[in-house]
């Protein structure tokens, strides 16, 4: 759990203890074709506050790498903070649905250890935009997704309790049809804003 909190802190998001990002059963964009957006490749830099120590400002590096097999990988490194440096690695796939561009992130390593625990093999959907040398990553707002599931707008499960984890369970065609809509875009909130390294 410490590693999860550290990763969340690196992204400047404050999560309640035990609360995980919203995940989906299948990647977003499978019906449109998954790929590796080369516009992401390279190094991007941002700043964040540690979730537990608000005075601990750290620099965050996102290194997007395209492998020889055409797949995309991201290495997320938090450095220069008061506490230990943190890093995580993810396998990524990208897709475009309507005007929306998505990243599907699956954690592979966390601080030099293979991914384990509740996020192992979990697909984390992210929305992204690239404008004027800035990469903005958005992730799903848990409360908004809970409301959408309750209203029957998207299939999913919500664990019991105030901090119950949320998983979208819609089949690929239904998931992609929904994610192409402005209604789906409204479920996302800013995760982190990064500038391309020069």
Confidence of residue 80 (pLDDT cuts 50, 70, 90): low
Beta sheet of 23-24, edge-to-edge order? 23-24, 166-168, 156-158
Among 72, 69, 46, 75, CA closest to 59: 46
83 vs 118: CA distance, rounded Å: 24
Q: Do residues 72 and 36 lie in contact, with contact meaning Cβ atoms separated by under 8 Å? A: yes
75 vs 15: CA distance, rounded Å: 21
162 vs 185: CA distance, rounded Å: 24
Confidence of residue 58 (pLDDT cuts 50, 70, 90): confident
Take residue 13 and report the two structure tokens written for it. 């998001």
Among 9, 188, 134, 177, CA closest to 83: 9
Condensed to tens digits (0 to 9), the pLDDT of residues 5-33 reads 444 444 433 333 345 799 999 999 999 99
Condensed to tens digits (0 to 9), the pLDDT of residues 130-162 reads 999 999 999 999 999 999 999 999 999 998 866
81 vs 10: CA distance, rounded Å: 10
């Amino acid at each position: 759990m410490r590693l999860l909190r550290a990763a969340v802190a690196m992204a400047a998001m404050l999560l309640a203890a035990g609360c995980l990002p919203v995940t989906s059963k299948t990647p977003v964009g499978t019906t449109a074709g998954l790929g590796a957006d080369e516009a992401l490749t390279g190094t991007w830099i941002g700043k964040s506050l540690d979730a537990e120590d608000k005075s601990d400002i750290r620099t965050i590096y996102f290194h997007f790498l395209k492998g020889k097999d055409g797949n995309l990988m991201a290495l997320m490194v938090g450095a220069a903070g008061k506490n230990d440096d943190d890093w995580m690695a993810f396998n990524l796939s990208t897709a475009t649905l309507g005007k929306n561009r998505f990243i599907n992130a699956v954690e592979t390593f966390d601080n030099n250890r293979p991914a384990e625990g509740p996020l192992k093999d979990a697909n984390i959907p992210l929305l992204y935009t690239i404008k004027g040398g800035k990469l903005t990553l958005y992730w799903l707002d848990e409360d908004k997704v809970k409301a959408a599931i309750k209203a029957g707008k998207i299939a999913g499960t919500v664990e019991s309790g105030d901090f119950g984890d949320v998983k979208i369970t819609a089949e690929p065609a239904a998931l992609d049809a929904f994610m192409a809509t402005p209604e789906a875009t409204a479920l996302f909130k800013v995760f982190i804003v990064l500038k391309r390294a020069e």
